[in-house]
């Protein structure tokens, strides 16, 4: 009943010209995959061009961040009003935003509410550091991130949200979490927390992605876990074999 969803997060890669060339190269391949929703979350400057290139494609477009205000004196920021014509989704609270730009749970919550107010679907990212993992704090930390990010969000809005669980130690390292590790945390720290907040019926409808060194060769393993509904893919979404990754993610 949950439509699986694999999103590419390009991070700070690709010029506008490179972005357009790339999506034109892969869009037909992605359109040919059924039973899987896919998206590219691209740098803000590439949103208009990528959205135009994908206008007749089933591939969705996402932003990687947005401001917590609609307009005003916020030098360098890009507002939900600006991204809305081009973006179906927006990644919020990626660990790189939290680590390098000081984003807090409270800010992620504020941005999530504002994105929803502008009909942009948030992909809310959560995940623990290596130190937290080794200290046995993963469960409490991730569950706390989820509660804080969703504070005050209605059930109707929750149904539009995607959660991405990305253990920080698995991002860009080649050290992917095992299916049991990732699926276990997704079940106990994410879905069970959603059930506690919104009830089990709602929790069963929410799509939860795994992220961290997902590649064409390991996506099928993740998708075999009953609680993993897709992936948020960094490095491997910059290569043409992202099409293979998405196709390999379709479960029988
Ligand atoms: P990698 O797939 O490069 O590990 O990145 C994961 C990620 O951070 C996606 O948001």
Domain with 48 in it: what CATH number? 3.20.20.70
For 232-243, the pLDDT digits (tens) are 999 999 999 999
Q: How confident is the model at residue 251 (pLDDT cuts 50, 70, 90)?
A: confident
For 191-227, the pLDDT digits (tens) are 999 999 999 999 999 999 999 999 999 999 999 999 9
Full residue range of the structural domain in which residue 200 is found: 5-250
For 63-78, the pLDDT digits (tens) are 999 999 999 999 999 9
166 flagged as catalytic: yes
Out of 37, 94, 96, 110, pick the active-site residue: 94
Instruction: Calculate mean pLDDT across residues 76-102.
Output: 98
Res. 174: pLDDT tops 90:
no
217 flagged as catalytic: no
pLDDT value for 175:
86
Total number of domains constituting the chain = 1
Return mean pLDDT, the chain.
97
Counting atoms of ligand 1 from 1, which one is nearest the CA of 11? Answer: 10
pLDDT value for 252:
65
Report which of 45, 57, 38, 52 is spatially closest to residue 14, judged by C-alpha positions: 45
In percent, the amount of the chain with pLDDT more than 90 equals 96
Of 166, 182, 208, 239, the residue with max ligand 1 atoms within 8 A of its CB, to mutate for a pocket test, comes to: 166
Hey, what are 251's tokens? 């479960």
Q: How confident is the model at residue 59 (pLDDT cuts 50, 70, 90)?
A: very high
pLDDT value for 164:
98
pLDDT value for 38:
98
pLDDT value for 145:
98
Q: How confident is the model at residue 153 (pLDDT cuts 50, 70, 90)?
A: very high
Phi-psi map region of 105: left, alpha, beta (phi>0 left; psi -120 to 50 alpha): alpha
Range with the poorest average pLDDT among 33-37, 42-46, 126-130, 172-176: 172-176
Q: Whose CA is nearest to atom 2 of ligand 1?
A: 234
């Amino acid at each position: 009943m949950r439509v699986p969803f694999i999103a590419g997060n390009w991070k700070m890669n690709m010029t506008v010209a490179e972005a357009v060339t790339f999506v034109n190269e892969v869009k037909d391949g992605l359109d040919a995959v059924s039973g899987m929703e896919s998206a590219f979350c691209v740098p803000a400057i590439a949103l208009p061009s990528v959205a135009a290139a994908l206008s007749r494609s089933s591939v969705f477009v996402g932003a990687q961040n947005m401001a917590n205000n609609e307009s005003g004196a916020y030098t360098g920021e890009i507002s939900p009003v600006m991204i809305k014509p081009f973006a179906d989704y927006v990644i919020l609270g990626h660990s790189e935003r939290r680590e390098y730009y000081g984003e807090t749970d409270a800010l992620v919550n504020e941005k999530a509410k504002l994105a929803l107010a502008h009909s942009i679907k948030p992909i809310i990212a959560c995940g623990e550091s290596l130190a937290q993992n080794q200290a046995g704090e993963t469960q409490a930390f991730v569950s706390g991130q989820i509660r804080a990010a969703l504070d005050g969000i209605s059930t109707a809005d929750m149904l539009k949200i995607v959660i991405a669980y990305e253990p920080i130690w698995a991002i860009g390292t080649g050290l992917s979490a095992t299916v049991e590790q990732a699926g276990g945390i997704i079940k106990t720290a994410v879905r069970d927390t959603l059930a506690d907040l919104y009830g089990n019926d709602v929790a069963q409808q929410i799509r939860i992605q795994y992220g961290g060194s997902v590649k064409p060769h390991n996506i099928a393993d993740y998708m075999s876990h009953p609680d993993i509904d897709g992936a948020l893919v960094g490095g491997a979404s910059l290569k043409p074999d992202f099409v293979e990754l998405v196709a390999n993610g379709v479960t029988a």
